Protein backbone atom coordinates (compact mmCIF):
# COMPACT_ATOMS: atom_id res chain seq x y z
CA UNK A 1 0.00 0.00 0.00
CA UNK A 2 1.36 3.43 -0.93
CA UNK A 3 1.76 6.17 1.67
CA UNK A 4 -0.82 8.46 0.08
CA UNK A 5 -3.58 5.84 0.03
CA UNK A 6 -5.35 3.82 2.62
CA UNK A 7 -4.93 4.33 6.30
CA UNK A 8 -2.88 7.18 7.60
CA UNK A 9 -0.65 7.18 10.66
CA UNK A 10 -3.64 7.96 12.89
CA UNK A 11 -5.58 4.93 11.65
CA UNK A 12 -8.04 6.97 9.55
CA UNK A 13 -8.50 6.81 5.80
CA UNK A 14 -6.55 9.49 3.93
CA UNK A 15 -7.97 11.13 0.87
CA UNK A 16 -5.89 11.64 -2.24
CA UNK A 17 -4.68 15.14 -2.86
CA UNK A 18 -5.31 16.49 -6.35
CA UNK A 19 -2.28 16.81 -8.56
CA UNK A 20 -3.47 20.03 -10.21
CA UNK A 21 -5.52 22.67 -8.40
CA UNK A 22 -7.12 25.45 -10.46
CA UNK A 23 -6.65 28.87 -8.97
CA UNK A 24 -8.55 31.91 -10.20
CA UNK A 25 -6.47 34.37 -12.16
CA UNK A 26 -5.38 37.47 -10.31
CA UNK A 27 -5.79 39.64 -13.38
CA UNK A 28 -7.89 39.27 -16.48
CA UNK A 29 -6.24 37.91 -19.59
CA UNK A 30 -5.09 40.52 -22.09
CA UNK A 31 -7.17 40.84 -25.27
CA UNK A 32 -5.71 39.08 -28.31
CA UNK A 33 -4.54 42.19 -30.23
CA UNK A 34 -2.83 43.58 -27.14
CA UNK A 35 -1.16 40.25 -26.37
CA UNK A 36 0.02 39.95 -29.99
CA UNK A 37 1.60 43.40 -29.96
CA UNK A 38 3.15 42.72 -26.54
CA UNK A 39 4.79 39.51 -27.78
CA UNK A 40 6.04 41.34 -30.86
CA UNK A 41 7.48 44.13 -28.71
CA UNK A 42 9.24 41.69 -26.37
CA UNK A 43 10.86 39.90 -29.32
CA UNK A 44 11.97 43.18 -30.91
CA UNK A 45 13.40 44.49 -27.63
CA UNK A 46 15.21 41.20 -26.98
CA UNK A 47 16.78 41.24 -30.45
CA UNK A 48 17.76 44.89 -30.07
CA UNK A 49 19.43 44.25 -26.71
CA UNK A 50 21.29 41.29 -28.17
CA UNK A 51 22.43 43.41 -31.11
CA UNK A 52 23.54 46.22 -28.80
CA UNK A 53 25.56 43.76 -26.70
CA UNK A 54 27.26 42.32 -29.78
CA UNK A 55 27.97 45.86 -31.00
CA UNK A 56 29.59 46.69 -27.66
CA UNK A 57 31.88 43.65 -27.83
CA UNK A 58 32.77 44.34 -31.46
CA UNK A 59 33.66 47.92 -30.50
CA UNK A 60 35.94 46.64 -27.71
CA UNK A 61 37.76 44.40 -30.17
CA UNK A 62 38.02 47.22 -32.75
CA UNK A 63 36.37 45.08 -35.40
CA UNK A 64 35.31 46.54 -38.73
CA UNK A 65 31.78 45.22 -38.07
CA UNK A 66 31.34 47.58 -35.11
CA UNK A 67 30.18 50.56 -37.19
CA UNK A 68 27.53 48.72 -39.28
CA UNK A 69 26.30 46.96 -36.13
CA UNK A 70 26.08 50.31 -34.31
CA UNK A 71 23.92 51.67 -37.13
CA UNK A 72 21.76 48.56 -36.87
CA UNK A 73 21.51 48.96 -33.10
CA UNK A 74 20.32 52.56 -33.49
CA UNK A 75 17.71 51.44 -36.03
CA UNK A 76 16.74 48.58 -33.71
CA UNK A 77 16.28 51.01 -30.83
CA UNK A 78 13.90 53.09 -32.94
CA UNK A 79 11.94 49.97 -33.95
CA UNK A 80 11.85 48.74 -30.33
CA UNK A 81 10.48 52.09 -29.20
CA UNK A 82 7.80 51.81 -31.87
CA UNK A 83 6.99 48.30 -30.65
CA UNK A 84 6.49 49.42 -27.06
CA UNK A 85 4.37 52.37 -28.17
CA UNK A 86 2.35 49.97 -30.31
CA UNK A 87 1.48 47.93 -27.20
CA UNK A 88 0.41 51.06 -25.35
CA UNK A 89 -1.68 52.41 -28.25
CA UNK A 90 -3.28 49.03 -28.94
CA UNK A 91 -4.21 48.67 -25.27
CA UNK A 92 -5.70 52.15 -25.12
CA UNK A 93 -7.65 51.60 -28.35
CA UNK A 94 -9.00 48.27 -27.10
CA UNK A 95 -10.10 49.82 -23.81
CA UNK A 96 -11.86 52.68 -25.59
CA UNK A 97 -13.68 50.38 -28.01
CA UNK A 98 -14.53 47.34 -25.95
CA UNK A 99 -13.45 47.26 -22.36
CA UNK A 100 -13.82 50.49 -20.46
CA UNK A 101 -14.90 49.79 -16.94
CA UNK A 102 -16.53 52.94 -15.68
CA UNK A 103 -16.22 53.49 -11.97
CA UNK A 104 -17.56 56.90 -11.00
CA UNK A 105 -15.47 58.98 -8.70
CA UNK A 106 -16.77 60.08 -5.34
CA UNK A 107 -17.48 63.54 -6.81
CA UNK A 108 -19.65 62.07 -9.55
CA UNK A 109 -21.43 59.90 -7.02
CA UNK A 110 -22.12 62.93 -4.82
CA UNK A 111 -23.48 64.91 -7.78
CA UNK A 112 -25.78 62.08 -8.81
CA UNK A 113 -27.01 61.77 -5.23
CA UNK A 114 -27.75 65.51 -5.13
CA UNK A 115 -29.56 65.31 -8.47
CA UNK A 116 -31.71 62.43 -7.20
CA UNK A 117 -32.57 64.37 -4.04
CA UNK A 118 -33.49 67.44 -6.09
CA UNK A 119 -35.62 65.30 -8.42
CA UNK A 120 -37.41 63.66 -5.49
CA UNK A 121 -38.05 67.05 -3.89
CA UNK A 122 -39.44 68.40 -7.17
CA UNK A 123 -41.72 65.37 -7.63
CA UNK A 124 -42.89 65.60 -4.02
CA UNK A 125 -43.64 69.28 -4.45
CA UNK A 126 -45.55 68.60 -7.66
CA UNK A 127 -47.64 65.94 -5.94
CA UNK A 128 -48.36 68.11 -2.92
CA UNK A 129 -50.32 70.63 -4.94
CA UNK A 130 -47.86 72.86 -6.69
CA UNK A 131 -46.13 74.40 -3.72
CA UNK A 132 -42.66 75.72 -4.39
CA UNK A 133 -39.94 73.08 -4.02
CA UNK A 134 -37.25 73.34 -1.37
CA UNK A 135 -34.73 74.61 -3.94
CA UNK A 136 -35.92 78.16 -3.53
CA UNK A 137 -38.96 80.42 -3.76
CA UNK A 138 -40.51 81.23 -7.11
CA UNK A 139 -39.26 78.14 -8.94
CA UNK A 140 -41.57 76.29 -11.30
CA UNK A 141 -41.33 72.58 -10.46
CA UNK A 142 -40.24 70.21 -13.22
CA UNK A 143 -39.18 72.94 -15.64
CA UNK A 144 -35.54 71.92 -15.87
CA UNK A 145 -35.60 68.28 -14.69
CA UNK A 146 -33.14 66.39 -12.54
CA UNK A 147 -30.05 68.08 -13.97
CA UNK A 148 -30.91 71.46 -12.47
CA UNK A 149 -28.23 70.91 -9.85
CA UNK A 150 -25.56 70.93 -12.55
CA UNK A 151 -26.73 74.14 -14.17
CA UNK A 152 -27.60 72.41 -17.48
CA UNK A 153 -30.89 72.71 -19.30
Q: Taking a C-beta distance cutoff of 8 angstroms, is the pair 100, 108 a contact?
A: no
Task: For residues 14 and 88, give the distance between their C-alpha atoms in angstroms, rounded to a whole number.
Answer: 51
Query: What is the enclosing helix (H) or strand (E) of 70?
Result: helix 66-94
Q: What angle do CA 111, 117, 110 make, to 5 degrees?
A: 20
User: 29-61 pLDDT, tens per residue?
Assistant: 888 889 999 999 999 999 999 999 999 999 999
What is the C-alpha to C-alpha distance for residues 43 and 47, in angstroms, rounded to an integer?
A: 6
Q: Which has the higher per-residue pLDDT, 59 or 107?
A: 59
| pLDDT per position as a tens digit, 1-31 | 555 555 556 666 677 878 888 888 788 788 8
Dist CA 81 CA 87 (whole Å)? 10
Distance of CA 58 to the CA centre of its chain: 42
Residue 4 in 3-state DSSP? coil
Amino acid sequence: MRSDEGEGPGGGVRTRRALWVEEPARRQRMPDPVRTSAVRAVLIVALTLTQATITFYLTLTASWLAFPMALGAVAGTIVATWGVLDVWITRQTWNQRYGVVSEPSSTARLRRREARRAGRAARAAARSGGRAPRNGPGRIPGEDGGLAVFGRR
